[in-house]
Amino acid sequence: MARAYSHDLRVRVLDAVEAGLSRRAAALRYRVGVATVIRWAAHTTMTGETWAQRQGRPPGSKLDVHEAFLLALTEEKDDITLAEMQKRLRTERSVSVGLRTLRRFFACRAVTWKKSQRTQPSRIAPTWPHPVRRGLPRGPTSILSA
């Protein structure tokens, strides 16, 4: 995202407009866009401030309000899925969010779910050590080559 112009430039442009220079002439003199000068002048007229507004989305999540509810869901049921949480939020709280939003919400709070232990090795086929590492031939072998 582009940065805001410096406060010094903004003040000089607004002073020129206030001194009677047209917005278009001020834009030409200070080499900024006409629409930029118009926005700056409108903002200064409405608020009285010459500082740039904060850029970007406001901090926080729409789930911050429902933090206690979501954490209670995880305490209530250990193996609850994000899709189940999404459904409960929609039905009980009328909040529609994506799975990525839920994932990010829990990641920011370091809430994780532990996976189950490793599955038992197969009793039918050996899984370790690997056949190549045992010195056995790779792939299918022909009866004629023996």
User: What predicted TM-score, i.e. pTM, was given to this entire model?
Assistant: 0.46
Domain extent for 27: 7-47
Question: Which residues fall within 8 angstroms of residue 4, CB to CB, at 6 or more apart?
Answer: 52, 55
Q: Is residue 143 part of a domain?
A: no
Q: Are residues 97 and 68 in the same domain?
A: yes
Per the structure, how many domains does the chain have? 2
Q: Is residue 130 part of a domain?
A: no
Q: Is residue 115 part of a domain?
A: no
Tokens of 11: 């003040």
The model's pLDDT over 74-131, given as tens digits with 9 standing for 90+, comes to: 888 878 889 999 999 999 999 999 999 999 999 888 887 766 666 666 667 666 655 5
d(CA 36, CA 112): 46
d(CA 55, CA 126): 59
DSSP assignments along 8-40, one per residue:
HHHHHHHHHHHTT--HHHHHHHHT--HHHHHHH
Q: Is residue 55 part of a domain?
A: no
Q: Are residues 40 and 68 in the same domain?
A: no
